[in-house]
Amino acid sequence: MRHFPLLLWHELRMLAVSVATYSAAVLFLLLMGLFYFVVLHSFNSEMRADPPSTQYFQIFWIPVFFVVPLLTMKSLAEERRHGTLEALLTTPATTLEIVLAKFFAAYFFYLALWGLTLLFPFIAQFYLHVGGTDSPLVDKAPLIGGFLFVAFSGLLYIAIGIFASSLTRNTLVAGMLTFSMLFVLIISPQLLPNLTLQTSWLAHIQPAVDYLTPFKHLEDFSRGVVDTRPFFLYASNTLLVLGLTTLVVESRATA
């Protein structure tokens, strides 16, 4: 892994000068700011048991659907389209180092965007003058738990984006593939319980469905319940997807 730091620095610089990166950042912050405003408005008009941060993180899937494709769709697809991936693979750097550099560059930027949204509660508290350190706006448990969930689930989501980008030369197709796979991964576990009401044999897989449901993980994390099973789920599947991506890139290079 001698060449990994240099490759990672190069990928971070490429993200820093990319128009798509700043487009994703602006859209993300505007959208999340709007969502947080709506959450504050509903919290002010209705008596809710959950603090605003808990409700805020429940819409994590909406920005994931467009930010992850924007951050990852050009990572390998554009390299293949311009023919620079083959040249990169002839260097002493290994395929795994190249894939990991692209993965961590996108992941760090993803974390940075979500990290900026953690300022929203403090900004709202400052301007609204709501309470002190015990204010529901800055309740630490849902803030820390929600961000932990975003950080660990983001490992898998970014890995899926890198994998989709390795399958095609077209960046638009890579973005659409990423969106489709994320939609199935996040939304389908929510829809399966409705089928269990009509199909009795599906009731046997209900525990597995609950284990795979991101919204269940978020609910636990936002309440301060840190379970090790989601950590293992996201980490192991991230390694699997990155391994598949490495194999795909190697096979395309030798084809």
Sketch the domain layout of the chain as residue ranges. 4-254
Q: Give percent above pLDDT 70 in the chain.
A: 82
Q: State the Cα–Cα distance between residues 255 and 249, nearest whole angstrom.
A: 10
| The dihedral sign for the CA sequence 137, 143, 145, 151 | positive
Question: Which comes out higher in pLDDT, residue 194 or 99?
Answer: 99
Average pLDDT over residues 168-181: 90
Q: Which residue has the higher pLDDT, 238 or 22?
A: 238
How far is the C-alpha of 175 from the C-alpha of 59, rounded, in Å? 20
Dig out the tokens for 155 from the structure: 């490992």
Q: For residue 170, what pLDDT is reported?
A: 87
Q: Which residues contact 150 (CB under 8 A, 6 or more apart)?
A: 57, 60, 114
40-49, 84-93, 137-146, 176-185, range with the lowest pLDDT:
40-49
Q: Determine contact, residues 161/176, Cβ cutoff 8 Å.
A: no
- Average pLDDT of the chain to the nearest whole number: 80
Q: Which residue has the tokens 């046997």?
A: 204
Is pLDDT of 194 > 70?
A: no
Task: Specify the higher pLDDT residue, 58 or 177.
Answer: 177
Sign for the pseudo-dihedral over CA of 133, 137, 138, 144: positive
Q: Please give the average per-residue pLDDT across 48-58, as a whole number.
A: 74
